[in-house]
A and B are shown apart, each in its own frame.
Chain A
Amino acid sequence: MSILINKNTRLIVHGITGNEGLFHTTQMVAFGTNVVAGMTPGKGGEWVVNGKIPVFDSVKMAVETTGANTSCIFVPARFAADSIYEAADAGISLIVCITEGIPVQDMMRVRNYLDQKKSRLVGPNCPGLLTPGESKVGIIPGDIAIPGNVGVVSRSGTLTYEVLYALKLLNRGVSTCVGIGGDPINGTNFIDTLTMFESDPQTEKVVMIGEIGGTDEEKAAEFIANHMTKPVVSFIAGQTAPAGKRMGHAGAIVEGGSGLAADKIKALQAAGVRVATHPEEIPSLLF
């Protein structure tokens, strides 16, 4: 078992004919992900990745023809909100948006629209998901994790790779890795993911990687204290970040005294979470 993606994932890639879309589709196919369709308006009828994947003009047509149930979005920020709406309206159940830099008001509209729909959004501004040995949706390098019992959820990309890699070096594996993204408004948060890990039989332990900005880690701490039976280990990035500066991620900012790493660490520790002082310390806290 795993969460969100597995062998039954049938993926459609938005922006499949773009540079990034094509590169990562090729990587996903090589990993074993079942990429059933691509979507680029105006390029319907073409076939890509050695003629194996059909391209459609709309997600609706792709879903009707291929039975796609998951989508991965690589389109530029100015078109990304439209892509999310399109996927949701075509009945896609899991939408993974890699795109960085979507205007925050677009995301507020998207999120409030999706709240009335059945689709789940992961991201935006995220590396996507990886279920080692089964499927990967997004850009997480497939070879840096092996199957196992650790669930990983993170707001960051490369920092997550560090953790996966540190686990792999010790021959420890991962059930699913979920990159929830570095934007202030996202589709899936820590609590959503922790809930799924808690009920996933394969997942026995959880790593949660947070960073400065917002109060999602504090809320997650409260959830962990009240609802999690599985042990959680955490790391929070940005202890040395100055206040009022956006640290690369749109959501990584300490504002008006809120969003500090120290507060998050305190809340997590109070909830019984072991917090690593640096990412390479995580495995020793897990096992």
Chain B
Amino acid sequence: MKLHEYQSKQIFSRYGIPIPKGRVATTPDEARNIASELGGRVVIKSQVLVGGRGKAGGIRLAKDSHEAGDIATQILAMEIKGLPVRKVLVDEAASISKEIYLGITNDRAARKPVMMASSAGGVEIEEVARTTPEKIIKTHIDPLLGLKDYQTRGIAIGIDLPKEYWKVFIQIANGLWQAYQECDATLAEINPLVITGDNRLIALDGKMLLDDNALFRHPDLAELRDLDVEAPAEVEARKYGLTFIKLDGNIGCMVNGAGLAMTTMDIIKLFGGEPANFLDIGGGAGSDKVAAAMRIILTDPNVKAVLLNIFGGITRCDEVARGILVALDEVKPKVPIVVRLVGTNAEEGRKLISEANMISADTLVDAAKKAVAAVNPESVGRYSK
């Protein structure tokens, strides 16, 4: 789950990281008032969960509160990469003498968190990694020991941070580590961390990604989720404990298990079709879940056929079959449905749905071919083996 800049910075501030004075506004009037409270010169920053806000014109400087209101009017009317701007952050404008990058993320291969810093702040770290990787200094953090001051000092030396800033830099790094750990973040990033004209260190921009699997212990953070970035069907699916990802094709897929669900998409493509979605109904799915999944798939107007691929392990095929019958009764689909049931209680499952008007398949290849043929008979067999 992604947090907005203002949410991330508020969290950072709670952990002792200095941030600019500022507040969020949802109307131009509010923006104007905040700007006059802050003394006039402010930065108006759109709060949308995509990168490249600056380039899109979503971050602008205002020299007084009047201009702040005008700019807020314009930015609040914008859409950036398809997302509407609903809020702007109005921050005091800082004088910048140097920009630094500081972030903590999970290093999957090392199985440890890694702290990264760079003297080339203000640019995306991926960009720095591509063009000048030598400017990135990394140190792995032992998750059982935590971040140690000497490690942060090593980073400060590595990015040539003048020693008068080391003490406050360590304080900021420790705050960031604490925020990362206590919020179960997968990324906590300050970019840029700036040295101001009056020699202070301030987190000018902040970004946090949170581990969805850990939200059960952070109900307060879970509430911060911005549903604008997710397709409505994905939100709906989550309510039922389903994982759904919308794609551009026309063959809807319902599968149990993530690996098999990906494979089902792949094999549809292999035989000349295009999957409309990824959908994992999970292990042990009952009939209500199956019915919900069917409803969600069929809300996509692009879907011209559905492929149900169930390999029963914990999931029992007869349960799935019951769910299919409930769903058919409820949504009365007008598109052909190809069903493959294998594994636990497959026989009972097949018997249950034998009366329903569906196309049955034995193997994965058979199922894929039938689904592709149902959509476009000519495209089948582009791949033949």
Listed stretches A46-54, A197-205, A235-243; interface member: A235-243
State which size class the interface on B falls in. 35 or more
Minimal Cβ-Cβ distance residue in A for B271: A278
**Residues of chain A contacted by B363 (CB below 8 angstroms):** 280
0/1 string, B270-292, CB within 8 A of A gives 1: 10000100101001100000000
Q: How far is the CA of A55 from the CA of B306 in the complex (A)?
A: 45
Q: Are A185's CB and B259's CB within 8 A?
A: no
**A20 CA to B363 CA, complexed, in Å:** 28
Which residues of the partner chain A approach B280 to less than 8 Å between Cβ atoms?
248
The total of chain A residues at the interface (CB under 8 A) is 60
Q: How far is the CA of A103 from the CA of B218 in the complex (A)?
A: 12
Is B343 an interface residue when CB atoms closer than 8 A count as contact?
yes
The residues of B that contact A103 with a CB separation of less than 8 Å are: 184, 211, 213-214, 217
Cβ contact within 8 Å between A247 and B262: yes
Q: With A248-B261, A277-B385 known to touch, is A108 a contact of B113 (CB < 8 Å)?
A: yes
Contact A238 B108 (CB under 8 A): no
Contacts of B34 in A (CB 8 A): none
List the A side residues contacting B268 at CB < 8 Å: 240
**Is there contact, CB below 8 Å, between B144 and A156?**
no
Given the interface pairs A141-B344, A242-B245, A278-B270, the reply to whether A104 lies near B262 with Cβ below 8 Å is: no
| A278 contacts across to B, CB distance below 8 A | 263, 266-267, 270, 364-365
| Known contacts A215-B109, A252-B258: A159-B343 contact under CB 8 Å | no
Measured between alpha carbons, how far is A103 from B383 in the docked complex, in Å? Answer: 41
Contact status B278-A214, CB under 8 Å: no
Q: B109 is contacted by which of A155, A160, A214, A277 (Cβ under 8 Å)?
A: A214
Report the separation of the CA atoms of residues A24 and B314 in the bound assembly, to the nearest whole angstrom. Answer: 9
Are B258 and A112 interface neighbours, CB within 8 A? no
A172 located at the interface, meaning its Cβ lies under 8 Å from any Cβ of chain B in the complex = no
Q: Which residue of the partner chain, among B108, B143, B312, B342, contacts A105 with CB atoms under 8 Å?
A: B143
Closest to B278 in A: A247
Expressed in whole angstroms, the Cα–Cα distance for A103 and B143 within the complex equals 13
A241 to B263, CA, bound (A): 10
State the Cβ distance, B345 to closest chain A Cβ, in Å: 11
Query: If the complex has contacts A165-B342, A247-B245, A278-B267, are A101 and B213 also in contact, measured as CB distance less than 8 A?
Result: yes
Interface residues of A (CB under 8 A from B): 20, 23-24, 77-78, 100-106, 108-109, 111-113, 127, 139-141, 144, 154-162, 165, 182, 184-185, 209, 211-212, 214-215, 235, 237-242, 245, 247-252, 256, 277-281
The 26 listed contacts between A and B (C-beta, < 8 Å) are: A101-B213, A105-B143, A105-B181, A109-B144, A112-B143, A127-B313, A139-B283, A157-B259, A159-B257, A159-B259, A159-B260, A165-B343, A215-B109, A237-B263, A240-B262, A240-B265, A247-B262, A248-B261, A248-B278, A250-B213, A252-B262, A277-B385, A278-B270, A278-B364, A278-B365, A279-B263
